[in-house]
Amino acid sequence: MIEIQGLRKTYRAKGRRDRAVVAVDGVDLSVAEGDVFGVLGQSGAGKSTLLRCVNMLERPDEGTVTVGGVELTALKRRPLRLARHGIGMIHQHFALLSSRTVAGNVAFALEVTGVPRNERRERVAELLELVGLGGRADAYPGQLSGGQKQRVGIARALAARPKVLLSDEATSALDPETTDSILRLLLDLNQRLNLTILLITHEMTVVKRICRSAAVMREGRFVESGAVTDLLHRP
């Protein structure tokens, strides 16, 4: 479902060629349909840059990114925007619009993807049910707990019925109990929707809890990768 080959991404400080940072330094990655794949690494390892290259929020300097059989790195702006609808993303700090209700936040994602107004209401209700927030459609983000906010983030990410969900430290701002309930929800969605999940985290417990496959990232490279059961049993 996700195929990455030879990915490199360097950041250059403006006008200062001497101060380049190689964030991703030649990564190959293959995530099968229906897998839950974790990229584990410390802060600065390049995880976030890698994830942002998967939906082309960052354009890689080198390498190819193919999602669901479509090579994103070969697409121009307009077709890329359409292809991106097939890739949902959730964030550490939720990234909700505080002036819109829970339903409004989810509906916004549907507006962007061109779902007609008369279908939106029903679809919003369906999405909120899916994430266990059926009763909170009219609440504002400021009235919700962290776990509830992330559920809104997940509903919004799934609005366009993507096949792939990218998770950028989605549970890092949550307490252990809430983390567990969000991870359970992700696993449930993985199974019910056959959703392929690629997550980045600095927490081994997250990988152990829901990932079937994982890679360890350090200084822009994968230093280990494979089935989680194998990785855990290595010396």
Binding site for ligand ADP (CB under 6 A): 11, 21, 23, 41, 43-49, 100-101, 103-104, 107, 120-121, 124-125, 137-138
Burial class (CB in 10 A: 0-12, 13-18, 19+), 128: buried
- Nearer Cβ to ligand ADP, position 32 or 97? 97
Minimum distance of ligand ADP from residue 96's CB (angstroms): 10
Tell the smallest beta-carbon distance from residue 104 to ligand ADP (Å).
Answer: 2
**In this structure, how many other beta carbons lie within 10 angstroms of the beta carbon of residue 33?**
12
Residue closer to ligand ADP (CB basis): 11 or 82: 11
Cβ pair 122, 149 in contact under 8 A? no
184 vs 202 by CB, closer to ligand ADP: 202
| Contact residues for 216 (Cβ-Cβ < 8 A; gap 6+) | 40, 41, 222, 223, 224, 225, 231
Nearer to ligand ADP, 45 or 198 (CB): 45
| Residue 218 exposed, middle or buried by CB count within 10 Å (0-12, 13-18, 19+) | middle
Q: How far is the CB of 202 from ligand ADP (least distance, A)?
A: 8
Smallest separation, CB 2 to ligand ADP (Å)? 17
